[in-house]
């Protein structure tokens, strides 16, 4: 118990050994080691790659990928970075719209993040295409494909996570 208090207070025992992430939930201290955090990242990346594979296989008219299956891992890392870095900023800025539309703007935000992922992926020579993008961004087909792609990607990711959870 003293070790837990030292870690929370940044005491001497918190700097001995490996680095741990500490979370207090309901008065209990939960330690999550770096290995578990890395495992969560790897599992999340694989789940997203599986979701992209299913999406590009089942709905190639909306989202298509021309390349090696290993490239889907790179695309899923790009998608994770876009969602992790840019996604929260956009969601915070769109919070008033989210409240006014009862969350429906979230579909457009996710579609935009998917389009951004396609743009970055193509810039890095991974041929992910959402609707007519790239090269054509401002078309109805592109926006519909991005919305459908984002919804299906989210549903498949959720289904795969139910089968393969990232927590030990």
| Residue 80 and residue 45 in contact, taking contact as beta carbons nearer than 8 Å | yes
Residue 89's CB is within 10 A of a number of other CB atoms, namely 9
Q: Determine the Cα–Cα distance for residues 120 and 133; give it in Å rounded to an integer.
A: 11
Q: What are phi and psi of 21, to 5 degrees?
A: -95, 130
| Residue 141 and residue 132 in contact, taking contact as beta carbons nearer than 8 Å | yes
Give the CA radius of gyration of the chain.
19
Q: Which among 30, 9, 31 is positioned nearest to 20, based on CA atoms?
A: 31
* pLDDT tens sequence across 111-121: 999 999 999 99
> Per-residue pLDDT averaged across 97-126, rounded?
94
pLDDT given for residue 27 in this prediction: 60
Q: Determine the Cα–Cα distance for residues 120 and 82; give it in Å rounded to an integer.
A: 9
Residues in Cβ contact with 90 at an 8 Å cutoff, skipping those fewer than 6 apart? 109, 112, 113
What whole-number percentage of the chain has pLDDT above 70? 77
Give the mean pLDDT of the chain: 82
Nearest-5° Cα angle at 21, 10 to 77:
140
* pLDDT tens sequence across 32-91: 566 677 788 888 899 999 999 999 999 999 999 988 989 999 999 999 999 999 999 999
pTM beyond 0.85: no
């Amino acid at each position: 118990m003293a070790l837990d208090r030292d870690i929370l207070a940044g005491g001497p025992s918190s700097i001995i050994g490996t680095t741990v992430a500490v979370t207090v939930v309901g008065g209990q201290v939960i330690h999550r080691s770096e290995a578990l955090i890395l495992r969560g990242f790897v599992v999340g990346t694989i789940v997203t790659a599986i979701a992209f594979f299913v999406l590009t296989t089942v709905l190639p008219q909306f989202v298509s990928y021309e390349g090696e299956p290993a490239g889907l891992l790179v695309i899923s890392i790009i998608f994770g970075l876009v969602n992790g870095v840019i996604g929260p900023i956009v969601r915070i800025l769109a919070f008033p719209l989210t409240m006014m539309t009862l969350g429906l703007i979230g579909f457009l935000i996710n579609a935009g993040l998917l389009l951004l992922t396609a743009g970055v992926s193509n810039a890095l020579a991974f041929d992910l295409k959402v609707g007519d993008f790239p090269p054509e961004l401002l078309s109805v087909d592109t926006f519909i494909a991005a919305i459908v792609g984002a919804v299906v990607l989210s549903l498949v990711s959720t289904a795969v996570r139910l089968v393969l959870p990232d927590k030990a």
